[in-house]
Structure 1
């Protein structure tokens, strides 16, 4: 890849039987329906002056990104979950004109963030109590923090490995791989064809999986700076430091992405890539076709506007589009 090639602002998310891609102003999903057709779902990104300002502030922008990701991702995930396994014509078309959409979107986003934070609490505190119970084996602050980190990694890897065994999550992970492959093909300035996309890596430096792993690594170094005794204080500071760990981890993710073409420094992002070996799977050609359809439709919207999302009335095509605000 040309090192002067500007990294695009496109990001993505794997969903049930499909992929969502987003840019600064638009988000587009493509899903594979039960009858093998492809359906699109479009949601615009609405401008917010406050969020625009906050996104420029280091150590704050990570929380804004988390909120926006939850808000947009939940809409697309809900759409795909409700429609992928239903034959076209049998489903109820959502009322996208409902004036309560904004309130619902904000509520879903908050619920998504709270769910993430709850999971973070669980993955943070369970290792603390396990390490505390093993103080006779691992004595002293350094040993306790290292043991706590190892237990956290084991818990994380075990959880991902177990959920990846379920058929639906395995498919989501395959679409996750397809998403990365499409972005990698685009960033290498290649024609977006199935063959070119399949030849790409399913790993990517900007993946949210890397962010999750960085919270474990960053947390370990931060914990070395605070007391571990008495035990109740250790539990308390782990809770209070969650926002600190999240904000610093986001900055580390941004740093590793910017360093991915720098010799030696590129290896800073490798731990996150290793975790993606679990959170992504190799997609088949049909899954790649869906990811390509989503990305190309987003590019069309970027080029000619939302008119690109018009229902395809070609008699030979079963694909169509749903809009949401």
Structure 2
């Protein structure tokens, strides 16, 4: 069986969408409901699992669970969770301990104390969003404007060409970072995450051999979400007819929450349904996963399996998986560790 033609089977409806995940530094994070499980592989070959709790604001206020709105809320919360788990994985690997603190880091700790990591994550999130806006909003509009200097008004083609630049920038960026050794390792863990979730959704026993048989391309992946977002911005751009470049960018930014919300609803629908239209619209994102996921090795798959089982204690009791049970504590703060 080739790497691209993986086993296709029937999936258990109630398991689809029950668990999601993310690749981190030398490991995999899995989330089901309020439970978050993070497993990393250390340099000595041992694997450590950390269990924590993440309660969405959608649980506390019905407004944030409305269609479209929940997509925006989910994006913000997943950004926060992503930065948090990346930081946790670095701590579990001892990366922070190996690096000497800079004067700026010491100043931050002195003035912010324990909240310094929250401050750093906030700054990183803001910078990440700013970079994304520059790459996918400003640059495509700027390049399209340069073309119009030679061709004249592009009319409706303006939005399509801007979309083409967005795709080119996105693909080029991902190809570039995939050349980095550490990023490639993370993409391999990303593949392990997808394969293990597919195996679980198929109702198969979570073993390395069973997980190997499944595809590393998953329709609910964040990569697919990015492509759906790009396609939606092309459609939205058709209705933005103002010539002023800054005004066009500003209007697109203001419409981003709606685009995010619609993209999220589509991704959730695509993850639970399978028809020709869904396959056609999902195809670009799945193709992109050929870059953002790589075939994992057995130890990477084991990390993904450990995280998945730890995220589902009702189905995989802690005494069977080796993961610790969750202790009482504040939202997002209670966690325990288990080492294999």
Greater CA deviation, 239-248 or 165-174? 239-248
The equivalent residue for 1:317 is none
How does the TM-score come out when normalised to structure 2? 0.79
Q: Following TM superposition, by how much is the alpha carbon of 1:289 offset from its aligned partner in structure 2, in angstroms?
A: 1.2
Over aligned residue pairs, what C-alpha RMSD do you find? 3.1
The equivalent residue for 2:262 is 248
Q: Following TM superposition, by how much is the alpha carbon of 1:26 offset from its aligned partner in structure 2, in angstroms?
A: 0.5
The equivalent residue for 1:44 is 53
Which of 273, 282, 290 is equivalent to 2:303?
290
Which of 274, 284, 287 is equivalent to 1:271?
284
Partner SS state of residue 49, structure 2: strand
- Equivalents in 2 of 1:3, 1:310: separation in Å? 28
The equivalent residue for 1:309 is 324
**2:333 is the counterpart of 1:322:** no
**2:313 is the counterpart of 1:300:** yes
The equivalent residue for 1:315 is none
Contact 1:66–1:113 (CA under 8 A) maintained in structure 2: no
Partner SS state of residue 13, structure 2: coil
Q: Following TM superposition, by how much is the alpha carbon of 1:242 offset from its aligned partner in structure 2, in angstroms?
A: 2.4
Greater CA deviation, 50-59 or 273-282? 50-59
What CA deviation, in whole Å up to 9, does each residue of 1:138-183 have, x standing for no partner?
Answer: 6322222221111111111100100111011101110000000000
- Equivalents in 2 of 1:182, 1:208: separation in Å? 16
Higher relative contact order (CA closer than 8 Å, sequence separation 6+): 2
Aligned length: 305
Matches of residues 81-160 of structure 1 in structure 2 within 5 Å? 81-84=90-93, 107=119, 110-111=122-123, 113-122=125-134, 123-135=136-148, 136-137=150-151, 139-160=153-174
Contact 2:233–2:259 (CA under 8 A) maintained in structure 1: yes
Contact 1:25–1:45 (CA under 8 A) maintained in structure 2: yes
**2:72 is the counterpart of 1:63:** yes
Matches of residues 6-17 of structure 1 in structure 2 within 5 Å? 6=14, 7-17=16-26
Partner SS state of residue 68, structure 2: coil
> In the superposition, relative to structure 1, how do residues 188 and 124 fare at CA in structure 2: closer, same or farther (>3 Å)?
same
> In the superposition, relative to structure 1, how do residues 64 and 37 fare at CA in structure 2: closer, same or farther (>3 Å)?
same
**2:171 is the counterpart of 1:163:** no
**2:13 is the counterpart of 1:5:** yes
Matches of residues 226-245 of structure 1 in structure 2 within 5 Å? 226-245=240-259
Greater CA deviation, 204-213 or 133-142? 133-142
Contact 2:166–2:230 (CA under 8 A) maintained in structure 1: yes
Q: Following TM superposition, by how much is the alpha carbon of 1:79 offset from its aligned partner in structure 2, in angstroms?
A: 1.6
The equivalent residue for 1:72 is 81
Contact 2:142–2:245 (CA under 8 A) maintained in structure 1: no
Which of 198, 209, 215 is equivalent to 2:229?
215
